[in-house]
């Protein structure tokens, strides 16, 4: 199978030459003139709002960095022209809360979260290369992950290039109003499945960055019952657990046709079903889901044995035993 489709001239793919040096802009690949041409992975406004700068951030290899130490090389012109306006718009919306976030173009939320997750990935790869080099080994990464990560990078270039997604959305986005405690910063990600979650202010946001909308369809029934409702934090974390688990069960690697037309680049999604008759998601196992939920519910102290006491019907604060939505005001747990 060909992993890389031929790219139009202006499209950059760092995975072709595996270029993760600080000498090239992470987004455009253009050579940088100075070591100072870097941007924060977690934007300064977000770190300042939640005192994150010096907080520890654990990388996949178990090494500890800090939020402020996570940076990516970025051309000053790209930052000034594209990232700074995007950050300003997202910062203003996040500060105002749920109603303002709801008005933001979903593609911009995808670009913002995608840059953050890709920035973490960039740091992970740099750390892995250094570690392997020190032990005299070559850095290895699976072809399926390269496929996913390079597609995410391709789509991030919609920030600074005229890229058109032809009749499809590359992501699933879920936004809820949540009764959060003040000053909460609840962030999660899963690099392998490219899943992002943020719970702050009065909202919770989850994005599956590379599923062509499949997780939204998969959770259609429960979404119809809870979308538009204000959630208790335990309800949001339950839905969060469902999404992180289903993103793990999603068993397709989306494929795309890349079509340059003049200065524009059109991206067309190939059908996810492809040649396989297998369902898009592997079988949902309540015990495994229960383990995920136990982790997401850590704050409330529920153990796996309680969660899957009835193995066919795991504990839920979203739906009652008749499958009807539970009102957040009826939940007598701490926020």
| pLDDT tens per residue, range 106-157 | 999 999 999 999 999 999 999 888 887 777 777 788 899 999 999 999 999 9
* pLDDT for the residue 326: 97
Q: Are 287 and 245 in contact (CB under 8 A)?
A: no
- Confidence band of 3 (pLDDT split at 50, 70, 90): very low
In a domain, 56, yes or no: yes
pLDDT confidence of residue 7:
56
Cα 149–chain centre separation: 12
Q: What is the pLDDT of residues 20-45, one digit of tens each?
A: 999 999 999 999 999 899 999 999 99
In whole angstroms, what separates CA 259 from the centre of its chain?
A: 26
Q: pTM above the 0.85 mark?
A: yes
Please give the Cα distance from 88 to 85 (Å, whole number).
Answer: 5
In a domain, 25, yes or no: no
200 beta partners? 203
Q: Is residue 267 a part of any domain in this protein? A: yes
Q: How many domains is the chain built from?
A: 1
The answer to whether residues 220 and 205 touch, using CB atoms and an 8 Å cutoff, is: no
Question: Does residue 75 lie within any of the structural domains?
Answer: yes
Q: Using CA atoms, how far apart are residues 140 and 149, in angstroms rounded to an integer?
A: 14
pLDDT digits (tens, 9 = 90+) for 189-198: 999 999 999 9
Q: Could you read off the pLDDT of 91-111 as tens digits, one per residue?
A: 999 999 999 999 999 999 999
What domain range includes position 71? 38-330
Contacts of 315 (CB under 8 A, 6+ apart): 293, 302, 306, 307, 308, 309
pLDDT at residue 4, rounded to an integer: 45
CA distances from 109 to 53, 190, 291 (A): 22, 17, 29
Helix (H, G, I), strand (E, B) or coil at 113: helix
Please indicate, yes or no, if residue 124 is contained in any of the structural domains: yes
In a domain, 162, yes or no: yes
- Work out the mean pLDDT of the chain and round it to a whole number: 94
């Amino acid at each position: 199978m060909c992993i890389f489709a031929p790219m139009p001239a202006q499209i950059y793919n760092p995975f072709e030459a595996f270029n993760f040096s600080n000498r090239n802009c992470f987004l455009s690949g253009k050579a940088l003139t100075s070591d100072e041409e870097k941007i924060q992975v977690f934007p300064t406004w977000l770190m300042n709002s939640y005192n994150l700068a010096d907080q520890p951030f654990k990388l996949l290899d178990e090494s500890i960095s800090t939020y402020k130490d996570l940076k990516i090389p970025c051309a000053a012109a790209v930052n000034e022209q594209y990232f700074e306006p995007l950050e300003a718009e997202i910062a203003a919306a996040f500060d105002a809360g749920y109603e303002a976030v709801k008005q933001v173009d979903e593609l911009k939320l995808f670009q913002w979260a995608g840059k953050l997750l890709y920035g973490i990935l960039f740091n992970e790869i740099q750390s892995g290369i250094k570690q392997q080099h020190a032990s005299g080994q070559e850095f290895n990464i699976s072809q399926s992950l390269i496929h996913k990560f390079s597609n995410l990078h391709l789509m991030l270039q919609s920030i600074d290039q005229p890229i058109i997604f032809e009749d499809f959305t590359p992501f699933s986005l879920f936004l809820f109003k949540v009764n959060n405690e003040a000053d909460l910063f609840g962030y999660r990600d899963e690099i392998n499945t490219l899943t992002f979650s943020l719970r702050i202010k009065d909202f919770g946001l989850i994005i599956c960055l590379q599923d062509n909308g499949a997780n939204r369809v998969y959770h259609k029934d429960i979404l119809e019952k809870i979308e538009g409702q204000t959630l208790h934090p335990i309800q949001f974390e339950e839905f969060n657990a469902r999404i992180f688990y289903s993103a793990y069960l999603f068993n397709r690697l989306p494929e795309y046709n890349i079509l340059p037309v003049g200065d524009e680049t059109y991206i067309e999604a190939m059908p996810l079903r492809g040649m396989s008759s297998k369902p898009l998601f592997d079988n949902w196992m309540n015990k495994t889901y229960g383990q995920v939920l136990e982790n997401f519910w850590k704050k409330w102290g529920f153990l796996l044995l309680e969660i899957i006491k009835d193995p066919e019907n795991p504990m839920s604060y979203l739906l009652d035993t008749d499958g009807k939505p539970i009102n957040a005001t009826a939940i007598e747990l701490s926020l």
